[in-house]
A = this chain, B = another copy of it.
Amino acid sequence: MKFLHTADWHLGKMVNGVSMLMEQEYILAQIGRIAQEEQVDGIIIAGDLYDRSVPPADAVMLLNDILMELNVRLGLPVFAISGNHDSAERVNFGTAWYEKSGLHIQGTLARDLAPIEWCGAQVWLVPYHEPAVVRATLEDKSVRSFEDAMRAVTAGIRLRWDETKPQIFVGHAFVAGGIPSDSERQLAIGNVDRVSTDCFDGFDYVALGHLHHPHAIHHPTIFYAGSPLKYSFSEAQDKKSVRIVTMDGKDLEEVRERFLQPLHDLRVVEGYLADLLANVAPGNEDFLQINLLDEGALVDPMGQLRAMYPNVLHLERIREKLADTAFERFEDVVKKDDLELFGQFFMHVSGKELTERQMDIMRETMDSVKGGEDA
């Protein structure tokens, strides 16, 4: 049995105000080709199909198209759940009809979770769930935390599973010890959103979504697929991929990454403005955070850079941080004389002290202006 594990598509996502839809269309087509090349027996999409509970209409069409490709054209069973970004109820619409074609989508947490029998294995679809939802759905008042909730859900599964068959868990959660990126939405304040790895004891493969780094956790049977695209600059160093998983009965034979090649990369570039403008390297249409090394004032650096690098999403002046120079109190500022204030301004703009010569010129100029004022 061989399957492809992906997650966190976030269809309809905007990164710094720019729509990722074209990028998403491109990468999903690639995932479809990989599924075909690898001749997998099925596809797992572990939540966050959309980026928000009410996705834009074109994101809805894109999901429809890729599911058509995977499930109808390629004839592959698809196992998908909703994540914390999805609307459980909206994702759940029509699922009874999809099922008949082997498109298994679980939007809301089911009270009496039943496994999907597939290639001799049992697949359990557990959408993202908050403790309150589990408390209500399972009518278990002892559920107070995310950890309690996951324990209650998996305990319920263990009562119903057929131990002799390979057990595949599809979920969307923050496993303790996992490394988050900047593009997941926090599930809760602090660390109370974490669930421990031993919630999943006994499962032969745990296909997770939520954390966007493909190696957010290291565990023999628990895997995050990671997002198929970089959705924040904290992921700039990631190599995004899908997992190709081969099992022989309950034995996890191989968990391999197939790397994805985005239409445009998302990168952090560092350099001096003049150099960046003079030497435009290939990849200039990538989504960029540019860290400028220049000191002092620059005339419209974003405008200049955009002409050469149309997808600059963020500009950082890394040598110009105001963080250290705390704001002065007004009382202290008014005590200073004009030359002292100008000296500070010059320092701020140029990073240099005024020379004696410069101070003389400035003093003369100020006197002459002030003389003019008095006249």
A residues with a Cβ closer than 8 A to B are: 53-54, 57-58, 60-61, 63-64, 68, 71-72, 87, 89-90, 92-94, 96-98, 100-101, 103
Closest to A99 in B: B97
- Inter-chain CA distance A210–B87, complex, in Å, is 29
Contacting pair A89 B61 (CB below 8 A): yes
Subset of 19 A-B contacts with CB under 8 Å: A54-B54, A57-B87, A57-B89, A57-B90, A61-B92, A64-B92, A64-B94, A68-B96, A71-B97, A93-B93, A93-B94, A94-B94, A94-B97, A94-B98, A97-B97, A97-B98, A97-B101, A97-B103, A100-B101
What are the 7 tightest A-B residue pairs by CB atom distance, in nearest-first order?
A57-B89, A94-B94, A97-B98, A64-B93, A97-B97, A54-B54, A60-B93
Q: 15 new A-B pairs (CB below 8 Å) besides A63-B93, A97-B100, A97-B101? A: A57-B87, A58-B89, A60-B89, A60-B93, A61-B89, A61-B93, A64-B92, A64-B96, A71-B97, A72-B96, A72-B97, A93-B94, A97-B97, A97-B98, A97-B103
- Inter-chain CA distance A87–B60, complex, in Å, is 11
- Inter-chain CA distance A71–B100, complex, in Å, is 13
User: Which chain B positions have C-beta within 8 A of A61?
Assistant: 89, 92-93
Question: Which of A68, A92, A94 gathers most chain B CB within 10 Å?
Answer: A94
Closest Cβ–Cβ distance, residue A129 to chain B (whole Å): 16
Closest Cβ–Cβ distance, residue A343 to chain B (whole Å): 58
- Inter-chain CA distance A63–B89, complex, in Å, is 11
Closest Cβ–Cβ distance, residue A230 to chain B (whole Å): 27
User: Which chain B positions have C-beta within 8 A of A68?
Assistant: 96
